[in-house]
Copies of this chain bind each other. A is one copy, B any other.
């Protein structure tokens, strides 16, 4: 290992990641929804380790863990998140937090480096209660009214209740201090197959796609599944199924080369086997890094809905509930990652967009931001079998620490 990575300890990185994996373990992954008991224990675990990196830890009023340094010189903010999707992988989030912790441990105690790495674990990146709640709160974009209205998408527990249960009610929410940080760096597993299938080790993220999300509601007439003849039914569930198929049949002719769309949840109301659903709802998502493509697809979606409504059997309402703006990663930061990769990953890096959303896209609205990816085995993500080779985890960590050094050196 070259001199610039003096103090880097790969065993410590793997031990920390496995310690977090043991909190809320599920098969080879974890089940650590936001403000679940294992999630809160993970926040405490991190807060107790930050002093090892010369950082003063705070868990704030939205569940962010932030470690601040008193060292003189420039400050680089680095981190990711600690909660998981339900029954999901062990690295999605913790990898970036532990890379940041390791960088802080190595750099903050090094008298030859001017400046420090500060560590953050942003709460609820996975969107159990909202989307990017923690990082948006830090960026000043979350109101008290939004917190009042939010609840857990799986259990309906109100966010206020969850904050009380976690002992965080009434705490202040930390906000970014103007000009404190030269920028933000985040590492993450790729969650796709690009790196693995090309034998590459580092993805230098160029942009993060925007996510547009819709609640599409179908209204028909609820009735008895035995006594209502097929000819007179207004079955909202069937209208929904036809709509899903129509989307999938028509989007390919209109989308861009990397557009993806997903129906992640369907609810029929009342959802009983002997009742024709009078109401049905789907959560639908489109991702792209080109707003023009999204605009075209959304217009098509609304036309399709109007057509179905005009046929008068069921009405369709398309409501946009999330508007994603693609985020461009800082060019100088991208160069620093690539330079570190040239030395510590044999140059096996590639510039690529991120199809997944990350806190870095929120931080990018208030400071220079960048991301690096490490390979995902089989591209599996948001599933407990998600994994990355230990060797790739360590290569990524070394590149991350070196990138931090380069960024602080200006």
Question: A: which residues have CB within 8 A of B?
Answer: 85-87, 127, 153, 190-193, 209, 211, 213, 222-230, 232, 235, 237-238, 240-242, 244-245, 248, 252, 258-268, 270-278, 283, 285, 287, 354-357, 379-383
Contacts and interface: CB of A to CB of B under 8 A. Distances in A.
A24 B227 CA distance: 25
A223 B265 contact: no
B380 A223 contact: yes
Given A272-B153, A274-B285, A379 B228 contact: yes
Contacts of A357: 226, 274
Copies of this chain, tallied across the complex: 2
Contact of A272 (B86, B271, B380): B86
Given A191-B226, A245-B245, A270-B87, A383 B278 contact: yes
A356 B209 contact: no
A171 to B, nearest CB: 28
Contacts of A356: 224, 226-227, 274
A348 B345 CA distance: 88
Nearest to A386: B224
A240 B237 CA distance: 12
Given A223-B381, A224-B191, A273-B127, A265 B268 contact: yes
A235 B263 CA distance: 9
Contacts of A127: 272-274
Contacts of A267: 266
B223 A272 contact: no
Contacts of A379: 223, 227-228
A262 B223 CA distance: 11
